[in-house]
Amino acid sequence: MPHASVQLPHQPPSEGTLERWAYDYITCDSLRAKMEPGVPPTLRVQHVVPLRVEPPGRPKELQVSWDKYKAPRSAHALRSPEKRAHLLHTFWHHELQAAELLCWAVLAFPDTPPAFGRGLINICLDEIRHMSMYREQLRRLGFDVGSFPVRDWFWERAPAATTARQFLALMGLGFEAGNLDHSQRFEHLFMEAGDPACSHLMHVVGEEEVAHVAFAAHWFHELGATLDFAGWLAELPRPLSPMVMRGKPLARERRTRAGLDKRFLDELEAWQPVSPGG
């Protein structure tokens, strides 16, 4: 079912702290607050008890649905302004969920180094900036946030992470790394469809995601995991698999710049799910 109203049994973090900013971002139900949350405080008072804040607040403009959305697979399909807008709206919502879940990780894993939490919030601010960029293109096409239903697909999966390493495997080395592939593919498709503005947007977002994946690769290692394909697969919360975290083709150059070596990429590209009888 779509998320119900937020009901939180725990005490919010102290006012004026980075944790409270993160908490308020997750739980707020104002579109303006989601798009313009203000500058986060520098003060971080690490709490002792993990706060696993869910579900997120949802602005009234958003219609949350369980319906599956299939992205257009060809430039021909993207010649329709409505289909381009629907795709951009989906990407906008991906950025929103990523921003919220980065805040979620700050609260869920209080035993991580302060630099880890600050880094998560810095990436969150990038995602929020991307949301504004997507909205600008939506409006250019004659639509806006709320014009299409959304599905909280990331939220249905990310809270399964019980450790910071699992979260990094899922979000940074999983979903965001996959976006290196998807953004590159849609950059080309938008250009073929005759929309250079959307193509440029996908290029900018894809390039900026490289640093996000690099952050995840760095901290995955720093927190004690092995940064190879087997090490990543071991930390990926079940039942998720690499199948939903890679595009075709892989953006190998971008992934390499993010810190993933050739062997990792070869194994990722070759991976296939094991059949029930295998």
| Residue range 242-254, pLDDT digits in tens | 999 999 999 999 9
Tens of pLDDT, residues 195-240:
999 999 999 999 999 999 999 999 999 999 999 999 999 999 988 8
Q: What is the pLDDT of residue 67?
A: 78
Rounded Cα distance between 197 and 202, Å, is 9
The DSSP secondary-structure symbol of 163 reads S
3-state secondary structure of 143: coil
More confident residue, 33 or 239: 33
Least confident of 12-26, 62-76, 113-127: 62-76
**Cα 38 vs. chain centroid, distance in angstroms?**
20
Pseudo-torsion of CA 39, 42, 48, 53, nearest 10°? 10
Confidence of residue 34 (pLDDT cuts 50, 70, 90): very high
Q: What angle do CA 3, 4, 10 make, to 5 degrees?
A: 105
Q: From the centroid of its chain, how far is CA 176?
A: 6
Q: What is the pLDDT of residue 73?
A: 84
Q: Span 51-79, mean pLDDT? A: 91
The torsion angles phi and psi of 150, rounded to 5 degrees, stand at -130, 160
Read off the pTM. Answer: 0.93
User: What average pLDDT does this structure show over 125-139?
Assistant: 98
Beta bridge partners of 64: 150
Torsion sign, CA atoms 29, 170, 127, 2: negative
Q: Which residue has the higher pLDDT, 65 or 245?
A: 245
Q: What percent of the chain has pLDDT over 90?
A: 83
Tell me the pLDDT tens digit for each residue of 158-184. 999 999 999 999 999 999 999 999 999
Helices (H), the chain: 18-27, 31-35, 81-108, 114-140, 164-167, 177-192, 196-222, 229-235, 252-257, 262-270
Residues 63-73: what's their mean pLDDT?
84
pLDDT of residue 5: 36
C-alpha distance across the termini of the chain, in Å: 34
Confidence at 8, pLDDT banded by 50, 70, 90:
very low
